[in-house]
Amino acid sequence: MPGMTDPERVVEMEGITKQFPGVLANDHVDFAAFRGRVHALVGENGAGKTTLMSILYGLTRPDEGTIRVRGRAVSFSSARDAIACGIGMVHQHFMLVPSYTVAENIILGQEPTRRRLFLDMQTARERVRELSDRYGLAVDPDARIRDLSVGTRQRVEILKLLYRGLDILILDEPTAVLTPQETQGLFTTVRALAEDGRTIIFITHKLPEVLAVSDQVTVLRRGRVVGNVRTTDVTMKDLATMMVGREISLTVDRTPAAPRGEVLALRGVTAIDNRGVSALKGVTLEVRAGEIVTIAGVEGNGQTELAEVIAGLRPLASGQILIDGHDASRLPPRKRRELGLGFIPEDRMKTGLALEASVEENFIIGRHHSEPFSRRGRLNFRRIREHALELIRDYDVRTPGAQVPAKTLSGGNLQKAVVAREFSRGAKLYVVAQPTRGVDIGSLEFIHRRIVEMRERGAGILLISTDLDEVFSLSDRILVMYGGEITGEFRPDATSREEIGLYMTGTKRMNMRRSTTGVA
């Protein structure tokens, strides 16, 4: 691979230790990155990746250890110190001003002036265009950020770092919301940057990406380095085992779907988002018992509003919602649950759980008013405790106890708690939104198995996901959403990620007037 013979160590971190109250985030970590290479940093949630890179970028100070950049010992007190040393970071959540142009965003804080009096936008635009052309980023300096796709916005973030002359670039989960085409475009850019002599540190939990783009891989587990290998020397299974400490199945075993009666039907559903803008535009779809129908799409194309409308958390502007044959269009959430709806929301912190309440209290939300958990208005605390302990065991929810506040659990365990509560209800229909967002590979494997288990027990599942690996792994049918509409329908074994990507970006769409049970 280009750059593999270049021996120059640009970043050296030795014996890095960082402890927070009750957590040893980094335990004497050694990490090195080389000029002209792409270095992947992987590990489960809580493994210490973010802490290590926050230390390198000056956002966190280590308790112990040394950092050298280009052979010189450094100590950063802020991100500004790191930037001055040539280190930049593209965060998961972009830091751009939507109403500004590309050029205006890129020069913020480093505005070029003519004779120290006037802003020289012409020079700025020319420099941005030059960098964009040089690395094939295809970004118009005069375009407004609000008008750009997610993938283009990410390229703007990379341009910001290049404009400042930075040559050590940290990319934190850079493909989280990209289509397959945008991901391939990013990989092309990353390789071009490495071949130009820059050092790229690529944080990701998607193992196929590690193999596709990196030269070297460092694996962290529980704050320690457990692997530091050349990418060409390992497989995905090797990396997964290093990350988790046990053998992981990267595929979901399941029998072919045997769909039965309809458990969800949407007919011409429209809804308005929080800005008063149309979010759903005549959505028609159906889900049958014993099948997983997945909504794929770039985030922000109506998926959130779709889940909320079905769950009764957002009013329906027009159209009809049928749950197990009953008109639920105007019913409150509790009545929809009584019809057989289970709901796993995308935001477990705000919508999925009551963080101040105990774990056992969260397990009975929505069922607290009925037997066996209450009778004649009195809670049955013994049964509540037994139920909680059963779910903690069956769903591997790692918690000090059933009575601790939910907020004390890690992100992955919070998600497993939501999954446990909903799947233990034995509902006929589940709306499952972004079920593995932000969870580590061990929890992902567990949640995927549970989703398939619910389908095999006869439930109908509407899965909403922006992760195409998840979409292709779990789906019996795939529906693509773009601009608040269903623009395509596919069987996963009869299409490709690239084809789905074209529909996700609105490049292609099919005539959806026919029955939604048909297939492209």
CA angle 304, 307, 313 (to 5 degrees): 95
Closest CA to 480 of 461, 459, 502: 502
- HEC readout, 220-280: EECCEEEEEEEHHHCCHHHHHHHHHCCCCCCCCCCCCCCCCCEEEEEEEEEEECCCCCEEE
Closest CA to 340 of 440, 446, 284, 422: 422
Using an 8 Å Cβ cutoff, are 324 and 428 in contact?
Answer: yes
Using an 8 Å Cβ cutoff, are 307 and 433 in contact?
Answer: yes
pLDDT in tens, the chain (520 residues): 444 444 689 999 999 999 987 779 999 999 999 999 999 999 877 788 989 999 999 999 999 999 999 999 999 999 999 999 999 998 877 788 889 999 999 888 765 555 555 567 888 889 889 988 888 888 899 999 988 877 888 889 899 999 999 999 999 888 876 777 788 888 999 999 999 999 999 998 788 889 999 999 999 998 999 999 999 999 988 998 998 888 877 678 888 888 999 999 999 999 998 889 899 999 999 999 999 999 999 888 999 999 999 999 999 999 999 999 999 999 999 999 999 999 999 888 888 899 899 999 999 888 887 778 888 878 888 888 999 999 999 988 888 889 899 988 877 788 889 999 999 988 999 999 999 876 777 788 889 999 999 999 999 999 999 888 899 999 999 999 999 999 999 999 999 988 998 999 888 887 644 434 444 4
Distance (Å, rounded) from C-alpha 433 to C-alpha 344? 6
Using an 8 Å Cβ cutoff, are 214 and 232 in contact?
Answer: no
CA 435 to chain centre: 10
**What would the two tokens of residue 407 be?**
């907020």
- Judging by DSSP bridges, how do beta strands 378-379 and 262-272 pair with one another? unpaired
CA angle 261, 267, 273 (to 5 degrees): 125
Using an 8 Å Cβ cutoff, are 153 and 129 in contact?
Answer: no
Distance (Å, rounded) from C-alpha 295 to C-alpha 287? 11
**What would the two tokens of residue 156 be?**
């703007």
What is the domain class of 262-340+427-504 according to CATH?
A: alpha beta
Q: How many CA atoms lie within 13 A of 408 on its CB side?
A: 13
Using an 8 Å Cβ cutoff, are 27 and 17 in contact?
Answer: yes
Write the single-letter amino acid at 325: G
Using an 8 Å Cβ cutoff, are 147 and 156 in contact?
Answer: no
Using an 8 Å Cβ cutoff, are 68 and 12 in contact?
Answer: yes
**What would the two tokens of residue 481 be?**
């959403």
pLDDT at 269: 97
* Residue 444 φ/ψ, nearest 5 degrees: -60, -45
pLDDT at 117: 55
Residues in a beta bridge with 230:
216
Distance (Å, rounded) from C-alpha 434 to C-alpha 432? 7
CA angle 512, 281, 468 (to 5 degrees): 65
The SS3 call for residue 386 is helix
**What would the two tokens of residue 46 be?**
């809580």
* Residue 235 φ/ψ, nearest 5 degrees: -110, 170
pLDDT at 515: 38
**What would the two tokens of residue 140 be?**
């118009």
Distance (Å, rounded) from C-alpha 73 to C-alpha 320? 65
Write the single-letter amino acid at 338: E
User: Would you say the CATH fold of 262-340+427-504 matches that of 9-244?
Assistant: yes
**What would the two tokens of residue 20 be?**
């927070």
Measured on CA atoms in the order 169, 172, 176, 177, is the torsion positive or negative?
Answer: negative
Write the CA distances from 250 to 207, 238, 261, integer angstroms.
10, 11, 31
pLDDT at 228: 94
Largest CA distance in the chain: 80
- The packing angle between helices 411-423 and 441-456, to 10°, is 10
The SS3 call for residue 172 is strand
**What would the two tokens of residue 219 be?**
């694996």
The SS3 call for residue 160 is helix
Out of 3.20.20.140, 3.40.50.1170, 3.40.718.10, 3.40.50.300, which CATH number does the structure's domain 9-244 have?
3.40.50.300
Closest CA to 82 of 198, 154, 168, 200: 168
Using an 8 Å Cβ cutoff, are 36 and 216 in contact?
Answer: no
Domain parsing of the chain, residue ranges: 9-244, 262-340+427-504
Distance (Å, rounded) from C-alpha 175 to C-alpha 468? 11
Residues in a beta bridge with 229:
217
Distance (Å, rounded) from C-alpha 448 to C-alpha 435? 9
Using an 8 Å Cβ cutoff, are 444 and 415 in contact?
Answer: no
pLDDT at 464: 96
Residue pointed to by tokens 């160590």:
9
Using an 8 Å Cβ cutoff, are 31 and 225 in contact?
Answer: yes
Q: Which helix (H) or strand (E) holds 68?
A: strand 64-69
pLDDT at 47: 83
